Amino acid sequence: MAEWRLEEIARVAGGTVLQGPPAQSFGSYGLDSRTIAPGGLFFAIPGRRDGHDFVAAAAGRGAAGAVVSRPVAVADAAFGLVQVRDTVEALQALAREVLVRRPVQVVGVTGSVGKTTTKEFTAALLASRFRVLRSEGNYNNSLGLALSLLRLDPADEAAVLEMGMSAPGEIRALTRIAPPDVAVITNISPVHLQFFAGLEEIALAKKEILDGAKPGATAVVNGDDPLVEKIARDFAGRRLTFGRGAACDVRAEGLVSKGYAGFEFVLRYGTESGPVAFPCVNEAAVANLLAAAAVCLSFGLPFDAIRPAIRALKPFAMRGTVVEAGRGVRIYDDSYNSNPRALEAALKSLAGLPAPRRVAVLADMLELGQGESAFHRRAGETAARSGWDVLVTVGPLAAHIAAGAAAAGLDPAAIHVFADSEAAAAAIAGIVRDGDLVLVKGSRGMKSEKVVEALRARGKE
């Protein structure tokens, strides 16, 4: 953790110490009064719930200080208070200063699909030779990225940071906090279309990570994605491509499924190559691995350094983990989020796994704009044509998935439609049979994890 004295925080953030010993030191930081660590510094961020209203609660949970943009009364005179013009800007200024003090190699990861998994894989592979900081969970906005950087340890040599967006300019703002030495773009897909006119606009917003990279930076880009290739064409620095195409610098050849053990293939890694075992069951994750390997190549890691780490890779929680739910039921838990590209890939890849029956529990995909009905209907068609035996849809938009599946030939008796995840969770134990493979996937706002929890409970009965 970066250590900051109260007086340093005030100086870097352009603020004033209102209360507390100027030499008081902080080593942990937070935005949530409920989870603030004892001795930590609380940032009072305005928003739907104004953080200033929770400074006292943070103090009660052990926080030793707060950064505020208006005076807040705290009875304990030892409680440090720094007043700044804007608490968000103050947090970001501290994060920028962290990288001035400790200029580690920054890997920025963006793209429409697979950012978090690519970030996790990249950090895990780099850790075979370097001490690595990774952004927590999906901390991919201006607040989460800044908080992640405040966790940087003096011994860290690299920082792998996810950079997300839902509007133009957001990634540019993130690169001002942490300009990448290596900029990764996983793909361009129909995500957040509610806020964009089309894929070309999404591509330009993702291009901001290249525009905001450091001079001399390396771009790691998806060589199989024409839009990614297009926006990276004029990048002035070194470019490394990953994918399945023969021209990619890092690529997978001879992919063979080993069922629940994952995949085996030959990894072409610059001028080196060799067989690897990859323990993820969804073929889409191979692209995430290739992106991570390309980052390692940009760092100069030899193939033999990363091959053992590949065998140990695991999906992030709720993003493609296989859960043994008891009574022979396996759940592919991808309940954190969903979009058309990722859902299609999961339906096609997982349909080949051995099981007496395959049950797809699919919830609404959100933020898809005017084409949302068509995207959902096509997902239903894919489910039926890929060989899924039972379909459970969750939410009003997912009703179009049910319609698409029925139109594509899935028996209507095998289609179950529910209004929300609570209703689906209450009924799922009566739909799933022992030995089934169950895919659970939906956008974050649909809370599809409730179905996973219900299936776990079924296995304990």
Inter-residue contact 244 to 222 (CB < 8 Å): no
Cα radius of gyration (the chain): 24
Measured in degrees and rounded to the nearest 5, phi and psi for residue 321 equal -85, 140
From first CA to last CA, the distance across the chain in angstroms is 44
194 pLDDT tier (thresholds 50, 70, 90): confident
pLDDT at 335 over 80: yes
Q: 49, 107 in Cβ contact below 8 A?
A: no
Q: Output the average pLDDT for the chain.
A: 96
| Average pLDDT for 76-91 | 97
- The CATH number of the structural domain formed by 321-460 is 3.90.190.20
Q: CA-to-CA distance for 336 and 80, rounded, in angstroms?
A: 37
Distance CA 58, CA 56 (A): 5
Q: What pTM was estimated for this model as a whole?
A: 0.95
Mean pLDDT of 33-55: 96
pLDDT digits (tens, 9 = 90+) for 352-364: 999 999 999 999 9
Q: What is the pLDDT of residues 266-318, one digit of tens each?
A: 999 999 999 999 999 999 999 999 999 999 999 999 999 999 999 999 988 89
Q: What is the pLDDT of residue 129?
A: 97
**CATH class name, domain 102-311:** alpha beta
For residue 224, is pLDDT > 90? Answer: yes
Which residues share a beta bridge with 83? Answer: 16, 68
User: Residue 323 contacts by C-beta under 8 Å, 6 or more apart in sequence?
Assistant: 330, 331, 332, 333, 452, 456
pLDDT tier for residue 450 given thresholds of 50, 70 and 90 = very high
Q: What percent of the chain has pLDDT over 90?
A: 94
Q: Which CATH architecture has domain 4-87?
A: 3-Layer(aba) Sandwich (3.40)
12-33 residue pLDDT tens? 999 999 999 999 999 999 999 9
Any idea where the domains of the chain sit in the sequence? Answer: 4-87, 102-311, 321-460
Q: What is the pLDDT of residue 2?
A: 78
